[in-house]
């Protein structure tokens, strides 16, 4: 038979082992929770930084677009359907007379 001292030693040994395992499991859980919370906070901060960078880029692109539309507005296609013949328009522009080019006819009935 086991003596009282050895029985108490076995009891203390089991309680210490069980307690150490429980404390270790709790420490592992706490460590994992701290790591998960840190990772989530880091991802949130990364999202904030990316959104701020995207907003800055969008403002920069909008300003560049505004400068481009003002600077190159003379190149805007006034005929998106393509039904105006550019060659004919250029030829017609050569035939257009300005007011300075017009010679007033001597007789008013010749003015049409």
Alpha helices for the chain (secondary structure H): 4-71, 86-95
Q: How confident is the model at residue 91 (pLDDT cuts 50, 70, 90)?
A: low
CA-nearest of 89, 63, 67, 68 to 78 is 89
Instruction: Measure the CA–CA gap between 7 and 11, rounded to whole angstroms.
Output: 6
The stretch 67-91 carries a mean pLDDT of 59
Tell me: the pLDDT tens digits for 24-36? 999 999 999 999 9
Name the pTM for this structure. Answer: 0.47
């Amino acid at each position: 038979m086991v003596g009282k001292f050895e029985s108490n030693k076995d009891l203390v040994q089991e309680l210490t082992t069980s307690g150490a395992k429980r404390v270790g499991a709790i420490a592992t859980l706490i460590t994992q929770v701290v790591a998960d919370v840190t990772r989530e906070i880091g991802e949130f901060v990364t999202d904030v930084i990316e959104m701020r960078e995207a907003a800055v880029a969008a403002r920069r692109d909008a300003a560049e677009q505004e400068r481009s539309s003002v600077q190159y507005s003379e190149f805007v296609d006034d005929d998106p359907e393509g039904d105006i013949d550019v060659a004919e328009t250029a030829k017609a522009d050569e035939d257009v007379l300005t007011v300075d080019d017009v010679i007033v006819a001597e007789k008013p009935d010749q003015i049409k």
